[in-house]
Amino acid sequence: MINNVQKNNLIGIVGPCSAGKSTLIGRLKELGYSCRHIAQDHSYVPDMWQRLVNPIVLIYLDVSYKVSMNRRPLNLNRAEFDEQKNRLKHAFQNADLSIQTDKLTSDEVQNLVVKFLKKHNIQPQVL
């Protein structure tokens, strides 16, 4: 889906709860990248991520239920978590980069993403 002809360099980040989206977004913004969390996991519209943001790059961060609950215990049972993943299916299938974060540190996730962005010539915005 990478579309370098778009006017913006907005990077979309999606994934289930506690996959590391907020941490990654904060780190990428510190580096000058323009990115946004897309709450696709809460929408019944499969392509909400496209309709609202239509990012130049879509990054999917994945996490298992067990690790998600260890990272940040939420009032979310397994069926609700599975429903989040179901709502994210279209985004997952269309993601430019998918990362399973269970065994990775936030530094490792950031490094994988920045390497991917540089490979595809997606540069930080001039601050």
CATH number of the domain bearing residue 81: 3.40.50.300
**d(C-alpha 53, C-alpha 57), whole Å:** 10
Is residue 57 assigned to a domain? Answer: yes
* Domain count along the chain: 1
The more confident residue out of 26 and 127 is 26
39-80 pLDDT tens trace:
765 556 667 777 777 899 999 999 999 999 998 878 889 999
**d(C-alpha 78, C-alpha 63), whole Å:** 13
pTM as predicted: 0.88
Whose tokens are 């996959």? That residue is 19
Range of the structural domain that residue 98 is part of: 11-118
93-121 pLDDT tens trace:
999 999 999 999 999 999 999 999 999 99
Is residue 89 assigned to a domain? Answer: yes
Give Cβ neighbours of residue 20 (< 8 Å, ≥ 6 apart): 61, 63, 101, 106, 109
Is residue 51 assigned to a domain? Answer: yes
From the centroid of its chain, how far is CA 56? 13
